[in-house]
Structure 1
Amino acid sequence: MTDAMTRESSGTHGVGPFIELLEIEELDENLFRGSCHAGAPMRAFGGQVAAQALTSAGRTIGKDRLVHSLHGYFLRPGDPQRPIVYQVDRVRDGASYATRRVTAVQRGEAIFTLSASFKRPEESRERQRSMPPVPGPEELPDPFLTWEQLAPEHFARATGFRSLEMRFVPADSPGLPAEMPGVPQQFVWLRTGSRLPEDPLVQVCALTYLSDLTLASTTTLHLQPHMLLRTEPPRITLASLDHAMWFHRPFRADDWLLFAQRSPSASDGRGLAMGEFYDRDGQLVASAVQETLARERPTR
């Protein structure tokens, strides 16, 4: 059986297909319902909440318009034990662009808001930043195998994360851009652990999920390793405050994408991280920016 066929049928690490993480139920016109797994203990994973909110918005748009940007605010921790209702407001339908606003609700309170813009594709001149020369994902170890050995109980609970694949590029890899003083950086290859439908909306929503995996940790790399590689108690309290993305070119989230990330600022208990997604051909396909709550926990 080929690798593609294996990934078609199930998640890489023995869980269900990634597409299940995006599934929502239509309750009524402009009203949807979904459920999200935990990211931090007892908190719904923000990337999945944002991805389902974007899925809800996309269900109210014709297939002739594609997502080009989103802006989201995390207002309250989501409860992974309860369903989330997504209320869609059809703000505008213009000749080229359309706008949707989504409010994610639990227990009658908003936990997340999303504004998303869609447009019809058009031809124009192109330019982009070049992709940094980094080792390919095939040359790098699977961090989940290490995590499973070092922290089997934590790994067993991370059912959502086990339906994707990631490879961390070592900081001393040849060809990496020099790290600027005060600007920690990291480079991670990401893809879903199973094949996805051709639908561009599905691909964009999957990347929205993936984009929230490592941006927050980029702001605190100088203090602690990434959460998926850590086995000791965290020294920092991290939580996404807001999240924005721009989608530049077509891509597949079930093929390897390089996420080049840097954090230019940390202050006032907040950290800012920026990231760029490149496909294997070096095309810049999307950009992301996130502000994160980053508080050091008091030592006893």
Structure 2
Amino acid sequence: MSHRTDPETGGEKGAGSPPEIVRLFDLEALDGDAFQITATGGIGRERLFGGQVAAQSLRAACLTVGAGRLPHSLHAYFIRPGTPGEPLRLDVARTRDGRAFSTRHVTAAQGGKPIFEMIASFHDPEPGFDWQAGPRPDAPPPGRLEPPEFPAFIRHPPGFEFRVVKPPRPNGFPIPHPFWIRCREPLGDDLTLHACLITYLSDMAVVSSSRAPGSPRELAAAVSLDHALWFHRPARVDEWLLFSADPASNFGARALARGTLHTEDGVLVASLAQEALLRPAGGS
């Protein structure tokens, strides 16, 4: 396993306790296919980060699927805001286990009320043609970009490092797309863990990227409504990924963004689509 030097301490990374981000997936098994974890974290708001709930839900689903059968897609709805510091219960329903595919339905709840629902599908690796459309979005390699300065209220778990392609807004938030991202510490070879972390980061700054060019920035509400993610090829989150998201449609108070994740070599590893509620300031 490779090791990196921690830029803050100068010490060697990759030995000892697991990275903090991995502890997000220390789920406690309850009766049946149910799991629980105390929900922590946020991004300067009094609600859970949606990507975290999605990633933990996918992890719960993975724990009910046989080893080697990897997630290939998920489709999810954000129902209610999640509250940091409260237990999050994850109930998994085994919808189907076939010869090559498995389907799982996950409900995440707090205080007995669902806050998030997901259907995830898993597929055994099979041989087939390898093709993708077009190159990755044009961006300088991460080694030529400086790490950005983010305000203290952005509380993603430490361990992610970013390289932004576009200058950030004056307050440094939201993160402008496209950007490079990776975990600083080696994460091992558990491909389901990497898929869960791709799910986590796939919700970063997508709502802001769904705004139509030239539309008003003052909004009464800007939240995720639903999220779809496709895992095209196995990928590692401890290696640089270029995350790009762009608006596809704005109509009424709903907006759609589409995005991709590519490796430094230009390999397309995942695609996503997210619908957001963008309610204008002063609207009903």
Give the alignment's TM-score, normalised by structure 2: 0.86
1:297 matched residue in structure 2: 281
Letter matched to residue 281 of structure 2? R
Listed one character per residue, the Cα deviations across residues 159-199 of structure 1 (whole Å, up to 9, x for unaligned) are x343312222128xxxxxxxxxxxxx931111123221311
* 1:8–1:17 Cα change, 3 Å: farther
> What is the distance in 1 between the residues matched to 2:209 and 2:192?
27
2:202 matched residue in structure 1: 211
Q: Is the 8 A contact 1:36 1:83 kept in 2?
A: no
Instruction: Give the CA RMSD over aligned residues.
Output: 2.6
> What is the distance in 2 between the residues matched to 1:292 and 1:6?
41
* 1:255–1:108 Cα change, 3 Å: same
Letter matched to residue 135 of structure 1? P
Identity of aligned residues (%): 38
> What is the distance in 2 between the residues matched to 1:73 and 1:128?
28
> What is the distance in 2 between the residues matched to 1:222 and 1:102?
35
> What is the distance in 1 between the residues matched to 2:190 and 2:230?
18
> What is the distance in 2 between the residues matched to 1:284 and 1:199?
20
* SS class of match (1:260): strand
Aligned pairs (5 A) from 1:96-115: 96-115=100-119
Q: Is the 8 A contact 2:20 2:158 kept in 1?
A: no
2:173 matched residue in structure 1: none
* SS class of match (1:3): coil
Farther-moved stretch of structure 1 (114-123 vs 254-263): 254-263
Gaps of 5+ in 2: 168-175
* Match among 131, 138, 148 for residue 127 of structure 1: 131
What is the Cα deviation at residue 25 of structure 1? 1.2
1:139 matched residue in structure 2: 144
Q: Is the 8 A contact 2:4 2:14 kept in 1?
A: no
1:3 matched residue in structure 2: 5
1:195 matched residue in structure 2: 186
* SS class of match (1:121): coil
2:218 matched residue in structure 1: 235
Pairs aligned (count)? 266
* 1:292–1:161 Cα change, 3 Å: farther
Letter matched to residue 187 of structure 1? P
Q: Is the 8 A contact 1:240 1:292 kept in 2?
A: yes
> What is the distance in 1 between the residues matched to 2:35 and 2:15?
27
* SS class of match (1:201): helix
> What is the distance in 1 between the residues matched to 2:110 and 2:41?
14
* Match among 77, 83, 103 for residue 79 of structure 1: 83
**Matching of residue 22 in structure 1 with residue 6 in structure 2:** no
Letter matched to residue 142 of structure 2? P
Listed one character per residue, the Cα deviations across residues 258-300 of structure 1 (whole Å, up to 9, x for unaligned) are 112211111221211111111112111110110111123349x
2:163 matched residue in structure 1: 167
Q: Is the 8 A contact 2:245 2:258 kept in 1?
A: yes
Aligned pairs (5 A) from 1:258-277: 258-277=242-261
Q: Is the 8 A contact 1:246 1:288 kept in 2?
A: yes
Q: Is the 8 A contact 2:206 2:257 kept in 1?
A: yes
> What is the distance in 1 between the residues matched to 2:25 and 2:142?
25
What is the Cα deviation at residue 21 of structure 1? 2.2
Q: Is the 8 A contact 1:10 1:193 kept in 2?
A: no
* SS class of match (1:253): coil
> What is the distance in 2 between the residues matched to 1:120 and 1:27?
27
2:170 matched residue in structure 1: none
> What is the distance in 2 between the residues matched to 1:91 and 1:295?
35
What is the Cα deviation at residue 141 of structure 1? 2.1
Aligned pairs (5 A) from 1:50-69: 50-69=54-73
* SS class of match (2:83): coil
Gaps of 5+ in 1: 172-184, 225-233
Task: Flag the structure with higher helix content.
Answer: 1
Letter matched to residue 191 of structure 2? P
> What is the distance in 2 between the residues matched to 1:24 and 1:280?
32
* 1:196–1:2 Cα change, 3 Å: closer
Letter matched to residue 272 of structure 1? L
**Matching of residue 247 in structure 1 with residue 231 in structure 2:** yes
1:280 matched residue in structure 2: 264
1:41 matched residue in structure 2: 45
